[in-house]
Structure 1
Amino acid sequence: MRDPAPIPATEVPDLVLARALYRIGAVALVARDVASLTRFYSGIIGLRIVSREADTVRLGEGDTVLLVLRHDPSARHWRSTEAGLFHTAFRLPSRGDLGVWLRHAEACGITLTGAADHLVSEAVYLTDPEGNGIEIYVDRPSSEWQWTEDGSVVMRNERLDHAGLVRAADRPWSGMPPGSCVGHVHLQVGDLDATERFYAGLLGFDVMCRYPGALFLGAGGYHHQLAGNVWNSRDAAVRTDGATGLAEVELLADGGTLATVRIRCRDAGVSFVEDGNTLVVRDPWGTQLRMKLGPAH
């Protein structure tokens, strides 16, 4: 198959993600050393400190919080075979932005753990000082995504055009650019059938792609706002509190979606906590999802 064309550095991103019924708000992590993680996410990833409290640091782009670090020096280290976070994926607005970040990461001596052209996006991977996975990526325009006859989006792991990305860099590094967001969160789960029943059947996500050992779930035609895999965590038990790593994923939704999920949870006997326009529910492995009315909805 012919390699997909690179994303033009000057292209304005389309709005398929912004218009989706679900979007990722902020991701919360439990940190043993919150100062170290704050330095990493601000200095390396490029987030700015939005607010700081005694045990909590909120970081983001502009005034929008994308990451919350909760300090717990006594937390046990999360094990990679447990359910939890595979990676938090920060979506940059343009290919040039990813090139700028790559030059910055290289200058800082950061070692990437992976890189791929997924056809729908170009992505690089790394881990933070406490082992939390991170993806930095840029989407191809949705008009260029490929689809199968059953309506699934085509995603693969092709070789990344690293040199082309670096050539697309057109400015010095100055932190995460305006318009950046958490595009998706990839979870470790214990079972894909249970993942589909919960995230598609209960929350209403569409299954966008079935991949060996993984399920990609999207809303509004986006390739995925959430994903789950069993590559390291097949048959994982329900998570226990008191570990480092993922504490919560915030999902922004419209009022109709929240109302529908509330009814489905009640009908299915799934426990939830409700507070105004916020609905808190846990997936089958105890990962907490805070669903709230999004600012654009």
Structure 2
Amino acid sequence: MHDTALPPESRIGRVALRVGDLDRVAAFYESVVGLDRLDATDERATLGVEETPLLELHAHEGLPERTPAETGLFHTAFLFPDRAALGDALARVDDAWRLTGASDHRVSEALYLRDPEGNGVELYRDRPREEWPVADGRVQMDTLPLDLDALREDAAGDSTAGAPAETTVGHVHLEVSSTPDSRSFYVDGLGMALRQDWSGAAFVAAGDYHHHVGLNTWNGRTTPGTGLGLDWFEVLVPDEAALEGVAERLVDRDVAVEWTDDGVTFADPDGIALRVRVE
């Protein structure tokens, strides 16, 4: 019998998006987010930091835009290693793009924007874990104003260098049709822990991170996504035992699991594709 929880070292790996204009979207993630283009063909581009892939863009010319009813991506959240690097990211946004929001979440500081095809993007940095407010085992996140002028002053001043090598995809936030159903899947099936649950949203994570996956029903999405937008995302686990544990829990819940050379693939209750592999 395998452990019922993901090991705390587990984390988000790559995120893949279906896009209509590959070159335009890739250029955004290079110039604004600061990722490097690691490889590219006419059909696909892989972006990341140094040799680590974080984002795959898959060209689907002619695929319709995601409709207001479709579930899928709320945002991909790129985690920067410190406040200075986040300040440099803000400088790139100031130079080449525009913010849709900025928040102090008590556990983190975050900038929000949308890519050229409307996919949500978060750029953030974590506060030290000892500063995170926790009560009854739940992290106490909030949405407070972020002082952008102070963040600009704390920038390292090297925005043209791009995202630092330590940058990762810190979390993925999804728009789902039912918060209770999705929460049950990601907690009881995938093995994450519930970290906060409020106002039509749930935040789940491996270990005691504030969240690796966000789930919300704020926009009333009801049908699986088939248009442009999120294709799949990846969870990395530390060893084969953890991977087998995920597969076993999902099979016990009658979830269709496919083993591949890289790990396992399956879909959540809204048809959102996930991949789990050993890091």
TM-score normalised according to structure 1 size: 0.88
Residue pairs, 1:62-211, within 5 angstroms: 62-108=50-96, 110-149=97-136, 151-173=137-159, 174-211=161-198
Deviation at 1:179, TM superposition (A): 0.2
- RMSD of aligned Cα (Å): 1.3
Matched pairs, number: 271
d(CA) in 1 for partners of 2:8, 2:79: 15
- The equivalent residue for 1:216 is 203
> Is residue 71–residue 175 contact of structure 2 (8 Å, CA) maintained in 1?
yes
> Is residue 25–residue 251 contact of structure 1 (8 Å, CA) maintained in 2?
yes
Whether 1:23 and 2:1 are equivalent positions in the alignment is: no
Deviation at 1:167, TM superposition (A): 0.9
Residue pairs, 1:10-49, within 5 angstroms: 20-49=8-37
Deviation at 1:277, TM superposition (A): 4.7
- The equivalent residue for 2:228 is 244
1:223 is aligned with what amino acid? H
1:152 is aligned with what amino acid? R
> Is residue 252–residue 291 contact of structure 1 (8 Å, CA) maintained in 2?
yes
> Is residue 42–residue 48 contact of structure 1 (8 Å, CA) maintained in 2?
yes
- 1:225-251 Cα offsets, whole Å, 9 max, x none, are 1111000135x1233x3x100000011
Percent identity, aligned pairs only, is 37
- The equivalent residue for 1:265 is 250
d(CA) in 2 for partners of 1:210, 1:268: 23
d(CA) in 1 for partners of 2:24, 2:278: 32
Deviation at 1:220, TM superposition (A): 1.6
d(CA) in 1 for partners of 2:23, 2:92: 21
- The equivalent residue for 1:10 is none
2:93 is aligned with what amino acid? A
> Is residue 26–residue 250 contact of structure 1 (8 Å, CA) maintained in 2?
yes
d(CA) in 1 for partners of 2:251, 2:145: 46
1:163 is aligned with what amino acid? D
Unmatched tracts of structure 2, length 5 or more: 1-6
TM-score normalised according to structure 2 size: 0.94
d(CA) in 2 for partners of 1:238, 1:131: 18
Deviates more, 1:20-29 or 1:193-202: 20-29
